Amino acid sequence: MCAFVAVHAGAGTHSHKTEDVCLKAVCKSKGDIIEAVKELENDFRTNCGFGSNLTFGGHVECEAAFASSEGHVFGAVGVVSRLRNPIEVAAMVAKEQSCIDKKFVLPTVLVGQGAEDWAQKRGIILCDPKSLISKRSQQQWREAREIVKDWEKETMDTVGAVSYENGGCNAACSSGGIILKAEGRLGHTTQIGGAIWADQRDSRSIAVALSGCGEYIAQTLLAKTLAETLFNW
């Protein structure tokens, strides 16, 4: 059982109902950071998994990442349309890094069909991409296509979570990306040190999970930069 778990629904303007979504995610997670993010992915009010923002062409392309101070592992998936819970697969990618018998260099980031095929071979059931589109995200997509000036009113809400247990820490995030993004676009989620970072030094552990405009966050490796700043405080 984790000693501490926290989640957020991302940057942007949210209704008070989003607070209930976050509270539900923490309560139902039973201390498991992956389960907490899966709860957020399953709720249409968050921009990840079901209900994700749609690309310019009206498709769902999700991304997610997981990092842990234990073994300093990182795993991410991007541009996936058939994974109901991308964070689950991102965590699987990360945890395979701890495999002792490594005959090959194991991947840390998988994208597109390659990521989906990798997950399916490990028992993950793929879903119909259309099943991830909510009425809300489809309506927002139509409005954004018609009125470009209203883009700035939409949220850029990558959800995130951090946890702490026995001196170690974990960070996770999941996102549908910005609305009307280009097909195949990758945000900061899949970049190690961009959206998330988890590290332990002596008795100090720091986990970071960020939300915002991915292109700018990625340029600064903001999650890692924040952690380094706190370690050096």
Known active-site residue 108: no
- Given a contact cutoff of 8 angstroms between Cβ atoms, the answer to whether 93 and 108 are in contact is yes
DSSP secondary structure, 146-214, as one string: H-GGGGGGS----EEEEEEETTEEEEEEEE--STTBPTT---GGGSTTTSEEEEEETTEEEEEE--S-H
From 18, 46, 55, 158, the catalytic residue: 158
Which residues are designated catalytic?
158
